[in-house]
Amino acid sequence: MKTGRFGTFFNRFTRDVHGNLTMLTAFILTSLMVLVGLAVDLEFIFRQKARVQYAMDSAVLAGALSRQAGATNAEVVSDIRQYVSPLIDSAGGGMSCTTVSVTFSDDSEDILGRMRCTQPTFLSNLIGNDDMSFTVSSTSTFSVGRIDVSFVFDVSGSMNSNNRLSSLKTAAITAFDELLPDDQVRDGTVRLGIVTYNNAVNAGAYFDKVTRGVTIPADATNSGAISNYNSYNSARMYDQATGKRFMYYQDGTCTESDPDECDQHGDYDWDVARWFWEDSTARDTCVY
């Protein structure tokens, strides 16, 4: 059966593989260009979003500080928007953002700032993606919780020299006036505590913990005494039988046959003994 010239040409065309590699290469290169374009634009978008987030965080924090200083809600909104605007302009890249939306929560005393930005693309627009958008938000608390301040004043004898006590009084008055001014409502949000000390501090119920106070029964053996010596000699120890305060010390007996060798290098049998304080019966709760 004769196919004619057209049939012959068609058969040759379908069997011809010349140029296939060129077409495949063109397809792969086009796909790679699209992927590279998306990657470049996405990386730039992430950097722009980080800049905007930083600007929003800083602006909302500044607004919270203004609110604490007594600014009205309208003034805070104006401060936040004025703070954000130059930071957004400095980001560049043709990015545009909506006006910052500011919300106040009276219950939690929070300030919420929110803004949406649009960034033109550089390479993705080749496939019809002309821009990318993102939203950032930030929250800051403008309330001030309860403040508890404790002052510990040294009124010992050393404060009488060099006008120290007078300076202490002046500094204390200044601190009190700053923390509790006369026009501030006494609602308990600021509480001050004052403690003075001279030569001792009353530890009260915490005395034993502060001093590692421990009552020790009589030592049944020398090894037991040595064990107590190693464990408690830095603590505040009391004899169980007498209630007297004591400390351990070691009493050595030279075992050298030649008395001349009973020096610091000689051999000794060491016995642990208790040395009692003269005022050891005093069981106050003051730490000196």
The DSSP annotation for 249-275 comes to: EEEEEE--SSGGG-STTS-EEEEEEEE
Beta bridge partners of 239: 216
Residue 86 structural domain:
17-141
Distance, in Å, from the CA atom of 163 to the CA atom of 24, rounded to the nearest integer, reads: 93
**Overall domain count for the chain:** 3
Q: Using pLDDT thresholds of 50, 70 and 90, give the confidence band for residue 19.
A: low
11 domain residue, yes or no? no
2 domain residue, yes or no? no
Distance, in Å, from the CA atom of 278 to the CA atom of 275, rounded to the nearest integer, reads: 10
Give just the sign of the alpha carbon dihedral 155, 160, 164, 167: positive
pLDDT of residue 34: 64
10 domain residue, yes or no? no
Q: Which of 141, 168, 188 is the last residue of a domain?
A: 141
Do 63 and 156 fall within a single domain? Answer: no
pLDDT at 273 over 90: no
pLDDT at 30 over 70: no
Do 26 and 97 fall within a single domain? Answer: yes
Do 129 and 62 fall within a single domain? Answer: yes
Q: Where are the alpha helices (DSSP H) in the chain?
A: 4-15, 20-68, 73-91, 164-179, 207-211, 222-232
Distance, in Å, from the CA atom of 46 to the CA atom of 59, rounded to the nearest integer, reads: 20
277 alpha carbon, distance to own chain's centre: 47
The residues, any chain, with a CB within 8 Å of residue 251's CB and separated by 6 or more, are 270, 271, 272, 273
Which residue has 């001050």 as its token pair?
192
pLDDT at 178 over 90: no
Do the Cβ atoms of 229 and 273 come closer than 8 Å?
no
Do 101 and 172 fall within a single domain? Answer: no
pLDDT of residue 117: 93
pLDDT of residue 280: 45
Distance, in Å, from the CA atom of 248 to the CA atom of 212, rounded to the nearest integer, reads: 15
Do 90 and 55 fall within a single domain? Answer: yes
* Least confidently predicted of 15-24, 179-188, 255-264: 15-24
pTM comes to 0.43
Do 213 and 195 fall within a single domain? Answer: no
Q: Between the ranges 85-89, 214-218, 264-268, where is the mean pLDDT highest?
A: 214-218
Do 114 and 180 fall within a single domain? Answer: no
The residues, any chain, with a CB within 8 Å of residue 84's CB and separated by 6 or more, are 55, 56, 59, 100, 113, 115
Length of the chain: 288
